[in-house]
Amino acid sequence: MRIVIMETGSFGVPSVRKLYESGHEIVALVTKVKPELKPGREPIPDPEVVQIAEAHGTPILRFPKIKDPEAVAQLKALNADLFFICDYGQILSPEGIQAARLGGINLHGSILPRYRGAAPVQWTVLNGDKIAGVTVIHLTPEVDAGPVFSIVKTEVGDDETADHLEARLAELGAPAVLDAVERLARDPDHVTSAVTQDHAQACGAPKLKKSMSEIDWSTSAVEIRNKVRALEPWPRTFTTWQKSPKKPPMRLILLPVPELLSMEVPPGTEPGTVLAVGEVLAVATGDGVLGIRRLQPAGKKPQTVAEFLLGNAIQPGTVLR
């Protein structure tokens, strides 16, 4: 089949490699427009998917707006059988989807209809889900709402961070993408076998924001721990410590993964209170105690709590905000 790949990020890279290995004809890569280079700045390296396409001599197209009539006309001119879309960043119009004979398929990083949106893996971890997955769907104009070809599931590790889980899911999704392509190549009517999602069960997974980073110690130790795991490597989580009344609070980034400690929180203890100091910083939360082993003061390198305490006299009773 003649396939056009649409991707900007890295989630679909294992699938792209599979498609090149499969022998199907990759007629073009559609990716993001290069950002304008500011004077004195180093050029931003091309995404890995662009490097792969260039290595195979695949034409690379960059549309400021994929819905523009000119872009749709160029897509039609490619005479593609199928679009493979993953982590592209723009939404195709109905006319754009129809520019390929069989429309498009999409690899999404959740068990749809759960977590439709830009950050499905991060919300999976943030909510403490024990099972994650990827879904291959047939593309529709409504985001992440198309009929389902296949779902692949996996258990989420107790200490697994979002970036690690995302990399695993990307690899798990590649064979499922290739399987959908092969089935469509053998039988174009396979599109009709895709299963309609239960839209009533849908929930969103919006982009992460920097404003999510600050820790609320009144929430539970489990929730805070999940947040640290989910917001790794961006935007990460932080708390603040007032080292001196004459200085602004010091921002401390929590590094994965804090421990759940079996300590009791004394009645009346304010959430954020340091209960014990040593190799682990034991901090009271709204429910339970969180043990921090590694952190990163703003503007400095990551370090163990023991290293941090050499120059910072945090004492039991100190309250982190």
Residue 92: which pLDDT band, with cuts at 50, 70 and 90? Answer: very high
Same-domain status, 183 and 297: no
CATH number at residue 183: 3.40.50.170
The verdict on residue 230 lying in a domain is: yes
What are 110-128's pLDDT values in tens digits?
A: 999 999 999 999 999 999 9
Q: Which domain holds residue 128?
A: 2-201
Same-domain status, 133 and 260: no
Distances (CA, A) of 12 to 8, 91, 97, 319: 9, 16, 19, 44
Same-domain status, 248 and 139: no
| pLDDT (0 to 100) of residue 231 | 98
Q: Are 154 and 224 in contact (CB under 8 A)?
A: no
Is pTM beyond 0.85 here?
yes
Tell me the C-alpha distance between 153 and 189, whole Å: 26
Same-domain status, 51 and 197: yes
Same-domain status, 8 and 72: yes
How many Cβ atoms are within 10 Å of 112's Cβ, its own excluded? Answer: 25
pLDDT(37) > 80:
no
Same-domain status, 41 and 173: yes
Q: What is the CA radius of gyration of the chain?
A: 23
Among 143, 166, 145, smallest CA distance to 154 is for 166
The verdict on residue 136 lying in a domain is: yes
Average pLDDT over residues 160-182: 98
Same-domain status, 119 and 81: yes
The verdict on residue 314 lying in a domain is: no
Query: Starting at the edge strand that comes first in sequence, how are the strands of the sheet with 274-276 ordered?
Result: 259-261, 289-292, 281-284, 274-276
Q: Which of 33-47, 56-70, 125-139, 185-199 has the lowest mean pLDDT?
A: 33-47
Tokens of 240: 């603040």
Same-domain status, 186 and 228: no
Alpha helix segments (H runs only) across the chain: 13-22, 48-55, 69-77, 94-97, 120-126, 162-186, 221-230, 305-309
Which of residues 201, 233, 265 is at a domain's end?
Answer: 201
Residue 45: which pLDDT band, with cuts at 50, 70 and 90? Answer: confident
What are 95-106's pLDDT values in tens digits?
A: 999 999 999 999
The verdict on residue 315 lying in a domain is: no
Same-domain status, 176 and 234: no
The verdict on residue 225 lying in a domain is: yes
SS3 assignment, position 118? coil
* Per-chain mean pLDDT for the chain: 95
Which of residues 157, 174, 201 is at a domain's end?
Answer: 201
User: How many domains are there within the chain?
Assistant: 2
| pLDDT (0 to 100) of residue 251 | 96
The verdict on residue 321 lying in a domain is: no
Same-domain status, 254 and 167: no
Same-domain status, 139 and 266: no
Which of residues 175, 201, 227 is at a domain's end?
Answer: 201
The verdict on residue 89 lying in a domain is: yes
Q: Are 99 and 61 in contact (CB under 8 A)?
A: no
Same-domain status, 186 and 41: yes
CATH number at residue 305: 3.10.25.10
The verdict on residue 320 lying in a domain is: no
pLDDT(224) > 80:
yes
**Residue appearing with tokens 């989420």:** 156
Tell me the C-alpha distance between 249 and 244, whole Å: 8
| pLDDT (0 to 100) of residue 246 | 85
Counting residues of the chain whose pLDDT is more than 90, the rounded percentage is: 91
